[in-house]
Amino acid sequence: MKIGIIDCGGANLNSIYYSFKRINIKAFISNSLSELKKMDAFILPGVGSAGIVMNKLKENNLINLIQETTKPTLGICIGMQILFDYSEEDNTDCLGIIKGSVKKIKPNKEIKVPQMGWNRVITSIDDISGYYYFANSYYTDNDEHAIGHSYYGKKFNSIVKKDNFFGCQFHPEKSSDIGEKFIKNFINQI
């Protein structure tokens, strides 16, 4: 099994790469269409902005590959957000795989932006419910494909699933043992 970590301008590639290496899964970082076509599954990594990520995907002719794939695909943080139609971040049209918009978290006395740190994920999948590490300023709350939720001032989606596409707002690669369990759960879908 080979996992293609799509290099789309984010800064978190090595953390994700090493999270797969720790569980003895071959992962490759690439932005080459021909290389990525050979992979069994894809990761859209986190850390970055919607505009930059979408521009990098366009520059490398990867939009159609992602939109049309039937291979398991996991979007992490910004990688999850770009699965939706639109992001308020950089006023960006995204991949349109999942209906809905990504909105900016509104700060107040109790809510700081970005959300940085551990937060609880509530899901019906018992073995992946728990506390994960988040680093986000944007969120989505369209429940149609949500399978996990968290609270940060209000309820938001922390895990989504549509067909072969999975998304998590948190960073499993920075979430210790439970993050590794989440990644293994994704691998078991392949």
The fold adopted by the segment(s) 2-187 is: Rossmann fold (3.40.50)
Per-residue confidence at 10, pLDDT binned at 50, 70, 90?
confident
pLDDT at 141 over 90: yes
**Strand extents, DSSP E, 14-145:** 26-30, 41-44, 73-76, 84-87, 92-93, 98-104, 115-123, 130-136, 138-139
Give the residue-averaged pLDDT of 123-141: 94
pLDDT tens for each residue of 150-173: 999 999 999 999 999 999 999 999
pLDDT tens digits for 31-42? 999 999 999 999
Flag the least confident range among 11-20, 28-37, 79-88.
Answer: 11-20
Mean pLDDT across 116-135: 95
Domain limits, the chain: 2-187
Give which of 131, 116, 168, 133 is closest to 147, Cα–Cα: 168
- Above pLDDT 70, what percent of the chain? 100
| Choice between 125 and 84, residue whose per-residue pLDDT is larger | 84
d(C-alpha 121, C-alpha 107), whole Å: 21
In angstroms, what CA-CA distances link 156 with 19, 28, 54, 179? 26, 31, 23, 19
Q: What is the mean pLDDT of residues 21-44?
A: 96
Q: Write down the pLDDT at residue 190.
A: 82
Report, as an integer, the average pLDDT of 113-122. Answer: 97
- In degrees rounded to 5, what are phi and psi of residue 160? -125, 155
Q: How many CB atoms lie within 10 A of CB 125?
A: 13
CB 162 within 8 A of CB 97: yes
Q: How far is CA 53 from CA 128, 139, 140, in A?
A: 27, 16, 17
Which of the four pLDDT bands, split at 50, 70 and 90, describes residue 126?
confident
Q: Where are the beta strands (DSSP E) in 90-185?
A: 92-93, 98-104, 115-123, 130-136, 138-139, 146-151, 155-162, 165-168
Q: What does the pLDDT average to over 117-123? A: 97
Nearest one of 49, 55, 58, 66 to 138, comparing CA atoms: 49
User: Could you give the CA distance from residue 62 to residue 55 in angstroms, rounded to a whole number?
Assistant: 10
Q: Which two tokens stand for residue 13?
A: 């590639």
pLDDT confidence band for 28 (50 / 70 / 90): very high
Catalytic residue numbers, as ranges: 77, 171, 173
CB-based burial label for 28 (10 Å; 0-12, 13-18, 19+):
middle
Residue 189 confidence (pLDDT): 84
